[in-house]
Structure 1
Amino acid sequence: MIISSGIANITCISFTLLYIAGFYLFEETRSNGLKLSRQHPTVIKSRMKAVTLSCCVILFLVYIVLSYSLDQMTFSTFLTRLGCQPIFLWNLLQPLVLTMVLFLGPLTILYFDQQLPGQVDFYWKRDVMQVISSLYGQRNYVFAPLTEELVFRSCMIVILYQAGYSYTWLIFISPLYFGLAHLHHGWEVYHQMGRTKQALQTALVSSFFQFGFTSLFGWYASFIFLRTSSLWTCVLCHSFCNMMGFPDINDIPHRPDHHRYVIWSSFLIGILSFVYLLYPLTCTTNSFYWSCPI
């Protein structure tokens, strides 16, 4: 049975609201009444607990909707639709390799700065172990990628796919929910900067940039999910993108000439190679959503 488009979109909106609701239901304040920063350990812990609870509720709602719309609903079917089934290692790593190709320019900058694994300014204990073991690292590189991809990729695409939406809609429109979910950061910036006119301008610019960047990534992650039917590939790519951050090109003009040529060439080669490899490196034979014979 096909889910109506109205029910599907209302369900996705409710997922977005549920995901961010805990951020404000469990807000922590100082003794002077001011709100703690989102980077404060207490805030990070409380939000992780709230999001975990939200994810449990969202998964339950998805199960109810699928049970209503599918003739035969089993737990195995549920996991398959969510992209939680096992996947071959190479199929798991292919999209990550593709993502690294896209970041060839920033990776080249790290190479010249001697900050890649195996180079003199890279230390596993400092740059990997301490970061991953920290609360900040766990949130940014493990918890956030896992929960965001589960809710805004798996759960939403499951519902919208069952409503009969096209690949175009699933790839380019469904990630807008993901972008909207990040707009609450602008509200936080506005309050933390004193709710002044300048604070409002800064919050608007920040929100516009974040909405655009997260929606752009959402297009890519949705494409990967449909091509691979794997939540885990999306989580890996999301975590890698969080580690790399938005490419910083401000320092490039101040580098030696031969560095600049190589870096700019790497950006161009990375983008062209990404486009060329987009379909080959996201092709799997066991995708539920997108048949891709090899």
Structure 2
Amino acid sequence: MVKRRCASVLLVSAISPAVVKTWMLLADVTVDVSVLELMGVRLEGVVPAAVLPLTLSVVFYLGPLVYSAVENPDGFTGELRSAFDVPSWLVCLQDAVWLRNQVVAPVTEELVFRGALLPMLIPCTGPTAAIFTAPLFFGVAHFHHIIEQRRLGKNHMSDILLMAGVQFLYTTVFGAFTAFIFLRTGHIVGPVLCHSFCNSQGLPDISSALRHPRSAALLCSYLMGVLLFLALLFPLTDPLFYGASPVCSLLAPPASLC
């Protein structure tokens, strides 16, 4: 099942450049960059595009990361050692589920829902509206989990719908963040790495922090992470780090957020 789904999404991703090119021809859209560059696949500014958005995601997850370190018997040192444990990474690379969650899903979903969808939306809606519209498609695309859970029969339908609603909210908010990153940087690598990192962390579990003996310190780290994320959001995505964003060439100047 996992391998078949990975194959299907890889196929969709492979044809997405052709879809964008067809749209450009039908809509009579002309730009001075290639389709792949328009979709964020380019070399100019690729290093900051990989490092800075990922840094933003890590900052946002400061609370959960501190919680994991507190729960680890070896503390922060143990967490760092685990993060750079090469043998464990090699084991993960042999796990189809891990590859789907950390590699295939981030690459394919970002390429389709950010790289392909945003260039087609932006000329019609403008950048701000596109940032909040594209994630709705991304959120709805995860509704197939309702069918899966129903088939397995492990939960009541009300619980399944509640989980689907929470997931829709989470994926929509996350999709708006990666859409913002894509538009500001003009790169797809940042959204892909952020997606992979967030998949590895999951939804922040604030309830566990509230019940922890060190709840005050943990909640402070959660709050600090959110505040730092908001403070750094625009500075770390300044287009000056990344060169001109190809997707913004679809907009008539002045292009806000670009």
TM-score, normalised relative to structure 1: 0.76
Structure 1 residues 250 and 54: CA distance shift in structure 2, 3 A: same
Deviations 1:180-235 (A, max 9, x none): 000111121112117xxx63212211211111110010110110010001111100
Q: Is 1:161 aligned with 2:161?
A: no
* Larger relative helix fraction: 2
**Which residue does 2:108 correspond to in 1?**
147
- The answer to whether the aligner puts 1:190 opposite 2:147 as a matched pair is no
> What letter corresponds to residue 225 of structure 1 in structure 2?
F
Identify the match of residue 57 of structure 1 among 9, 12, 15.
15
- Structure 1, residues 45-98: CA drift from partner, whole Å, max 9, x if none? 111111122223333221111133346567x52112100011341232111111
Partner in structure 2 of residue 264 of structure 1: 219
Rounded to whole Å, the distance in 1 between the matches of 2:30 and 2:80 is: 56
RCO comparison, higher one (Cα < 8 Å, 6+): 2
Q: Tell me how far 1:249 sits from its aligned partner.
A: 2.7
2:107, 2:207 → 1: CA distance?
31
Select 1:206's aligned residue among 160, 163, 188: 163
1:117–1:151 distance in 2 versus 1, CA, 3 Å: farther
Aligned length: 244
Cα distance between partner residues in 1 of 2:75 and 2:95 = 20
CA RMSD for the aligned pairs? 2.4
Q: Is this contact kept in 2: 1:145–1:235, CA < 8 A? A: yes
Distance in 1, Cα, partners of 2:232 & 2:153: 44
Change (3 A) 1:57 1:119: same
Structure-1 separation of matches of 2:79 and 2:60: 25
1:118-140 deviation per Cα after TM superposition (whole angstroms, max 9, x unaligned): 41795414643322331111100
Q: 1:120 to 1:98 in 2, by over 3 A?
A: closer
**1:1-294 map, 5 Å:** 43-70=1-28, 72=30, 76-86=33-43, 87-114=45-72, 118-119=77-78, 122-123=81-82, 124-125=85-86, 127-163=88-124, 165-193=125-153, 199-256=156-213, 259-285=214-240, 286=243, 287-289=245-247
Q: What secondary structure is seen at the aligned counterpart in 2 of 1:218?
A: helix
Q: 1:88 to 1:55 in 2, by over 3 A?
A: closer
Judge conservation of contact 1:189–1:199 (CA < 8 Å) in 2.
no
Aligned-pair identity in percent equals 31
In structure 2, do the counterparts of structure 1 residues 264 and 153 end up closer, same or farther at CA, with 3 Å as the change threshold?
same
8 A contact 1:91–1:284 mirrored in 2: no
**Alpha-carbon separation, structure 1, partners of 2:191 and 2:175:** 10
In 2, Cα distance between equivalents of 1:44 and 1:83: 27
The answer as to whether partners of 2:63 and 2:222 remain within 8 angstroms in 1 is: yes
Q: Give the alignment's TM-score, normalised by structure 2.
A: 0.86
> 129-138 vs 167-176, which deviates more?
129-138
Letter of the 1:215 partner, please give it.
T
Instruction: Specify whether residues 192 and 117 from structure 1 end up closer, same or farther in structure 2 by C-alpha distance, changes over 3 A only.
Output: same
Q: CA deviation at 1:272?
A: 0.9
Amino acid at match of 1:144: A
